[in-house]
Amino acid sequence: MAASQSSVRVTRDPQTKAYCSSVTQSMPEPRDCTVFQLLLDGVAFDDAHVCFAETKSGRELTLGSLRLQAQQLGLGLLREGLKPGDVVMLLLPNSIAFVVVLLATQFAGLRCALANPGYMAKELKHVHDLVQPRKIFTTTTLMKNLMRSGLSWNKAVTVDQSIGRGGARFLKDLMVSEEQAKQAEPFIPQSFNETTYLPFSSGTTGMPKGVEISHKNVAAMVNTLVSIPDGLGRGEKTIGFLPFFHAMALLIAVHCTIVNRGKVFIIPGFEPVAFAELVKKEKISNIGLVPPVLNVLAIHPKITKEHFASVRYASCGAAPLDADTQRKFSEKTGIWDVRQGWGMTETTVGCFGLSQGAEIGTVGRIMPGCYARLVDPDTGKDVEQGERGEVWVRGENITKGYYRNAEATKGTFSDDGQWLKTGDVGVMNDKNEMRIVDRIKELIKYKGWQVAPAELEGLLLTHPKVMAAAVIGVYSKEQATELPRAFKITPGSDADATAQEIIDFVKAKTSPQKYLRGGVRVLDVVPVSPSGKVLRKELRKLVEAEEAAAAGKEPQAKL
């Protein structure tokens, strides 16, 4: 890279009050291109570089084969009657098939909705009805999720094997011949602002919203990520265990790997010793983590510095990482270069972080190509260094809004439409590194997953023993994450027994990240404002008082 981290400066415009990186002025302009062109333009069909490898199956995917298979499937989908601009949905775990299908949609000019394979029936039905996909790519194991959600198997395409019934198709049956694929050209839209990805983000008011990510957003975000000094380099080797349907892994582990001709080892799940042994065996050069995983590695008795001798740096995102956990991780693994990042689905990946040498506990400096302000949410005025303010961001990587939800889009941007109001509250230190200290939005972050309190509150109110309910996140230092906790009014019943009953009720009806791992508390009154809004600040005060008075006591109910 042309610049080093030591030469990076952050400046603040005296008029707009916006922070930006000195690297912004020297970084190349992002390409005006589609995602397919960005990743596979110029890749020959016989390019033998292995970019993805599945550790469980032993399968590998070269860049040349990726291009060929993406064109075979993409052309096949168009011949099935799909048209550019149609939506297809990926309901897939991390795999080579995920990457192939993803790039096939981009070849054909389709919009790709990225669904969580862990969605329960209600959630899957909601995102399906929102985006109305023409096809749903999934596995035979996950077909039961479609059945439970009441969705037609006629839309399903299985990627692992044919099931031969119910109208479901098999991926290989949709692929055209190699000769036909090699002669085909990728679809080019009239505008690179066309939506190409639809990942889902939980709002504070309930069910997931579709975030519109354009070709221009992706090209700008990749340009930013590869322009970070001493950051992602050519030929990097990493491990793909964070979910590809999530913006962070999608762009860093998939897109940047292809652009930088790196290699991702795809593992079926996180098991600490197996993870560490793979790092050692394959001489992994950087690892992307989330705080709970980092915490597990920091305390596991079988993890040693020897496992991580090849690692240049570790990045950590999706949720705040506290300084104590970071120090323990570095002492355990010998990885002292731990780079936090900050972002949200609406920023495609992020706007702060991956900064070498940033103060521990901060999310680092503003990324190249991004701009940020810290604004007092009550007065609308920019705050000074060291003061708390809501983080507002802008840049070519920022979403244009929410799919089929103009009201939510309007509420997320500033009145002039120029700034994304993130809902996170930050403080800038004297080195212009940001620390996230609070959230105006009330989302709970469980191991990087977004959990909307309002959704759980609505579910709780369907239980016959719950008269009123409220949900907040309580931070667990042991697990390095927030845990959803419910507060409720229950008429005349045994509190402990009812608490466990409520926990089991929620487990039966939601995805695992929404389980009430923080327990259940019974209140005489759930605090609300005159307008009826739950006063979660008052509940947090109750939690603080409980922790201060009863440190070490067991919660009322456990999972």
* % pLDDT > 90, the chain: 53
Domain range spanning residue 264?
35-425
With respect to residue 437, please indicate whether it lies within any of the assigned structural domains: no
Asked if residue 389 and residue 536 are part of one domain, the reply reads no
Asked if residue 298 and residue 247 are part of one domain, the reply reads yes
pLDDT score for 227: 87
Cβ–Cβ < 8 Å for 265, 37: no
Convert the pLDDT of each residue in 43-95 to its tens digit: 999 999 999 999 999 999 999 999 999 999 999 999 999 999 999 999 999 99
pLDDT score for 543: 81
Cβ–Cβ < 8 Å for 390, 440: yes
pLDDT score for 399: 96
CA 225 – CA 559 distance, rounded (Å):
39
Helix 323-333 to helix 291-299 angle, to the nearest 10 degrees?
50
pLDDT score for 534: 66
Q: Is the pLDDT of residue 555 over 50?
A: no
Asked if residue 415 and residue 499 are part of one domain, the reply reads no
CA-nearest of 224, 222, 261 to 26 is: 224
pLDDT-based confidence at residue 6 (cuts at 50, 70, 90): low
pLDDT score for 557: 42
Please count the residues of the chain.
Answer: 559
Residue 444's DSSP bridge partners are: 451
With respect to residue 27, please indicate whether it lies within any of the assigned structural domains: no
- Looking at residue 188, what DSSP letter applies? -
**Encoded tokens for 318:** 């999706």
Strands 444-446 and 449-451, bridge-based pairing = antiparallel
Asked if residue 61 and residue 142 are part of one domain, the reply reads yes
Coil/strand/helix, residue 507: helix
Asked if residue 398 and residue 467 are part of one domain, the reply reads no
CA-nearest of 423, 410, 441, 444 to 514 is: 444
Q: What is the DSSP string of 268-328?
A: SS--HHHHHHHHHHHT--EEEE-HHHHHHHHH-TT--GGGGTT-SEEEE-SS---HHHHHH
Q: What's the mean pLDDT in 147-156?
A: 90
Between these two residues, 100 and 328, which has the higher pLDDT value? 100
Tell me the one-letter amino acid at 510: T
Q: What's the mean pLDDT in 140-161?
A: 91
Asked if residue 452 and residue 416 are part of one domain, the reply reads no
Phi-psi region at 552: left, alpha or beta (left = phi > 0; alpha = psi -120 to 50): left
Between these two residues, 405 and 530, which has the higher pLDDT value? 405
The CATH number for 516's domain is: 3.30.300.30
Convert the pLDDT of each residue in 194-218 to its tens digit: 999 999 986 444 678 999 999 999 9
With respect to residue 11, please indicate whether it lies within any of the assigned structural domains: no
Last residue of a domain, one of 395, 425, 455: 425
The CATH number for 403's domain is: 3.40.50.12780
CA 296 – CA 291 distance, rounded (Å):
9
Q: Is the pLDDT of residue 266 over 90?
A: yes
Q: Is the pLDDT of residue 312 over 50?
A: yes
pLDDT score for 559: 39
Helix 453-460 to helix 495-509 angle, to the nearest 10 degrees?
120
**Encoded tokens for 246:** 């999530």
Q: Which residues contact 324 (CB under 8 A, 6 or more apart)?
A: 477
The mean predicted confidence, pLDDT, of the chain is: 87
Asked if residue 368 and residue 451 are part of one domain, the reply reads no
135-138: strand order across its sheet: 169-170, 156-158, 135-138, 87-90, 111-114, 195-202, 208-214, 401-402
Asked if residue 453 and residue 372 are part of one domain, the reply reads no
Instruction: Write the burial class of residue 539 (CB in 10 Å: 0-12 exposed, 13-18 middle, 19+ buried).
Output: buried
Tell me how far CA of residue 135 lies from CA of 8, 86, 153, 203, 527, in angstroms: 46, 9, 10, 26, 45
pLDDT score for 204: 45
Cβ–Cβ < 8 Å for 459, 488: no
Strands 195-202 and 208-214, bridge-based pairing = antiparallel
Tally the domains of the chain.
2
Between these two residues, 365 and 467, which has the higher pLDDT value? 365
pLDDT-based confidence at residue 39 (cuts at 50, 70, 90): very high
Which single residue is written with the structure tokens 């927030």? 482
Give the N- to C-terminal CA distance of the chain in Å, as an integer: 48
Kindly report whether the global pTM for this prediction surpasses the value 0.85.
no
Convert the pLDDT of each residue in 481-531 to its tens digit: 888 887 766 655 566 667 888 889 888 888 888 899 988 888 877 776 544
Asked if residue 518 and residue 409 are part of one domain, the reply reads no
Cβ–Cβ < 8 Å for 108, 75: yes
Asked if residue 226 and residue 89 are part of one domain, the reply reads yes
Tell me how far CA of residue 65 lies from CA of 40, 48, 58, 99, in angstroms: 11, 8, 16, 11
**Encoded tokens for 243:** 């979910």
